[in-house]
Structure 1
Amino acid sequence: MKRFGTLSFGHYGPLGGGRSLSAADSMLQAIDLAQGMDELGVNGVYVRVHHFARQQSSPMPLLAAIAARTERIEMGTGVIDMRYENPLYLAEEAAAVDLLSGGRLALGVSRGSPETVVRGYEVFGYTGSEDPRGADIAREHFDLFLRAIEGEGLAERDPTSPFGGGTGPQRVEPHSPGLRSRVWWGAGNRDSAEWAGRKGVNLMSSTLVTEADGRPFDILQAEQIDIFRSAWREAGHPGEPRVSVSRSIFPLVTAEDHLYFGGRQEGDGIGIIDGLRTTFGKTYAAEPDVLVEQLKEDAAIASADTLMLTIPSQLGVDFNLRVVETFAKHVAPALGWEPTR
């Protein structure tokens, strides 16, 4: 494990006991947490993107604000639902944030996860899908997005324009040359992992896989990673791709830790997502020395280079920063991690 960071769902709304977290609170706390993690030398901070839900839905302003308050930490998404996106506008926004941050944007995109609404992307104006889950729209948008951030000319210049004539195709602006190498595809099964490898983008794998054959979650996920890397090599892409996995991991150190997460250690789960049998990864919650031994046995963590800790953002900056700091000091080094300085 070369890198680790956090993946936040950015929940806001009622918290119980008469308490509530506003959308503004959620975003401002995300910025404060990222700043604290940057000072600790943690590698990345990533946000989930969900529409029609009390979570992050428009990540670029938030990531730009994080960029302004930090110096080293990578910031990104896990994942942007491409069914909802104008791919050229997303390319412009992503390039702008990448340039403002000094090349620290890591953009995770995919077809997206199950929604709180029915075919919400059609309300955004993206219709005509022949797939009940809109996967065809997502991949069409993704292909055009890649062409845009690669700098391909997509519109013909107007030779009579008063703002600079000429002929030939014009790319979207701004353009960030290094962004293409920091795009991830969120894959949930072997087919999508193989597709990502052929496309030459990095692989982002979550705390679930849409497969269930009786084998443990980490073994299924590690198999997807192997398939991805094989497809990458067979396609002739240069270098080595990055691979991230997400886990719910809580070092139990204080009484508060035990109150919230003691007894949460549990095995893999099986459920149905979008009509597919799905294996859900277990929650790791134990004392740091126990966690080290457990995580060393996780085949997918051993195979990936980046680990994303899913954090309970509703519990606030102080709690989450302490969880991250405990992991950074007492768990991550035993897995091969060194802080960025």
Structure 2
Amino acid sequence: MKRIGFLSFGHYGTSRGSQTSSAGDALLQAIDLAAAAEELGIDGAFFRVHHFARQQASPFPLMAAIAARTSRIEIGTGVIDMRYENPLYMAEQAASTDLISAGRLQLGVSRGSPEPAANGAADFGYTPLEGETVADMARRHTATFRNAISGVGVAEASNHASLGGEKLLRVEPQSPGLSERIWWGAGSRATAVWAAQQGMNLMSSTLLTEDTGVPFDVLQAEQIQLFRDEWAAAGHDFTPRVSVSRSVIPVVDETDRMYFGLRSQADGKDQVGMIDGLLSRFGKSYIGTPDVLAAELAADAAVQSADTLMLTVPNQLGVAYNTKMLENIAKYIAPAIGWEPNLS
């Protein structure tokens, strides 16, 4: 079954035309957009997490509010930067949010992307252990978090508590099934293989920190296949999910043309550049008429291989515009990739 969801970066600011001049605007509109997306039959509402920037930063209060407002739509992140996280406190927040949502949480986590702060994780109080890199630290935090949400004891019991026979205390609350709904944001084929070995679902965006000269969708489809092959070899006891993200903007009226018309006339193609010192390939944006976009997405190898497509939204254009955009995608484009609205 193919799923689609929206992915918001939660931008806010007073730039010209912005409908989200404050953090409060961005948060409250995200709740409204998730509710509107559920009514359209969209499957998921996902949020990017960045620190020290005018963007979404602390996702759990937002996701809990959406969970209380909705009943069906999946709620998640794409992705949480684990360099910044206290893994045990995050385990408490995640389980609480998942319980409020009745098991709809889908958490994307990773080593994270470049941030505005020179050493933001250290400013949050987290530094690598001796011999660790920041990537190692993020993976260590992730392992501790996953142990905690799986019910493993993580804290030595006090003398008083140990009278009950418990030697190690687990984090509370616990939310059964959450441990199978953790996704790793992999930026390369190697990290996708590692995610499969660890038993995490795969979340792949419009950036891969490698380039072999093949088109982005082909390289990403190769990453997905390597992940699935490694998953099968590892013998995990549940079926993994795979998501990819795309910027898809259907141009159907004068408002769309005002915002995106010039970009739709440009020759959409991948870009290659350097990020964190690595030669990287960036996927193209899909902007144009619905019939053209439907054909292009149907031919996108990674979109076809993944079970979930995340659609990045221009959140600063407001709830009404983004609801209309998602409705046009749902009506005219998503059926071409095998999607059907979930209205149950």
Q: Normalised by the shorter chain, which TM-score bucket?
A: over 0.9
Residue from 256, 269, 286 that aligns with 2:288? 286
SS of 1:125's equivalent in the other structure is: coil
Structure 2 counterpart of 1:237: 236
Question: Which whole-Å CA distance do the structure 1 matches of 2:214 and 2:279 have between them?
Answer: 13
Q: Deviations over 1:109-139 (max 9, x none)?
A: 0000111111210011111356896101100
- The 2-side partners of 1:5 and 1:91 are apart by 24
TM-score by length of 2: 0.95
Given residue 21 of structure 2, which amino acid in structure 1 is its aligned partner?
L
Distance in 2 between the 1:296 and 1:10 partners?
A: 28
Q: Secondary structure at the match of 1:77?
A: strand
Q: Which residue in 2 is equivalent to 1:201?
A: 200
Alpha-carbon separation, structure 2, partners of 1:180 and 1:117:
31
What value does the CA root-mean-square deviation take over the aligned residues? 1.7
Partner of 2:183: 184
User: Cα distance 1:301–1:5, how it changes in 2: closer, same or farther (>3 A)?
Assistant: same
Matched, 1:3 2:3: yes
2: CA distance between counterparts of 1:240 and 1:18?
A: 41
- Using a 3 Å threshold, how does the CA distance of structure 1 residues 85 and 19 change in structure 2: closer, same or farther? closer
Q: 1:22-78: CA deviations, max 9, x gaps?
A: 000000000000000111111000000000000011000000001111110000000
Amino acid at match of 2:99: L
Distance in 1 (CA, whole Å) between partners of 2:262 and 2:137 is 42
Gaps of 5+ in 1: none
Question: What secondary structure, in the 3-state scheme, does the structure 2 residue paired with 1:53 have?
Answer: coil
Residues 18 and 316, structure 2, Cα contact 8 Å, conserved in 1: no
Give the Cα separation in 1 of the matches to 2:98 and 2:148: 14
Tell me, yes or no, if the aligned pair for 1:264 and 1:284 is still in contact at 8 Å: no
2:342 matches 1:334? no
Equivalent-residue separation in structure 1 for 2:329 and 2:341 (angstroms): 12
Structural mapping, 1:243-254, within 5 Å: 243-254=242-253
Deviation at 1:212, TM superposition (A): 1.5
1:224 aligned partner: 223
What is residue 92 of structure 1 aligned with on the other side? 92
Instruction: Say yes or no: does 1:40 pair with 2:13.
Output: no
More deviation, 105-114/11-20: 11-20
SS in 2 for 1:15: coil
Which TM-score applies when normalising by structure 1?
0.96
> In the alignment, does 2:298 pair up with 1:271?
no
SS in 2 for 1:14: coil
Q: Is the alpha carbon distance of 1:207 and 1:19 closer, same or farther for their aligned partners in structure 2, counting shifts above 3 Å?
A: closer
Which residue is equivalent to 2:301? 299
* 1:152 partner SS: coil
Show the counterpart of 1:175: 174
- 1:148 paired residue number: 148
Cα deviation, 1:191-218, whole Å, max 9, x if unaligned, reads: 1100000011100000110111211110
Could you tell me the percent identity over the aligned residues?
60
Listed one character per residue, the Cα deviations across residues 158-187 of structure 1 (whole Å, up to 9, x for unaligned) are: 35249x833332210000111011110000
Ranges in structure 2 where 5+ consecutive residues have no aligned partner:
none
Q: Is the Cα–Cα contact under 8 Å of residues 202 and 242 in structure 1 kept in the other structure?
A: yes
Partner in structure 1 of residue 76 of structure 2:
76
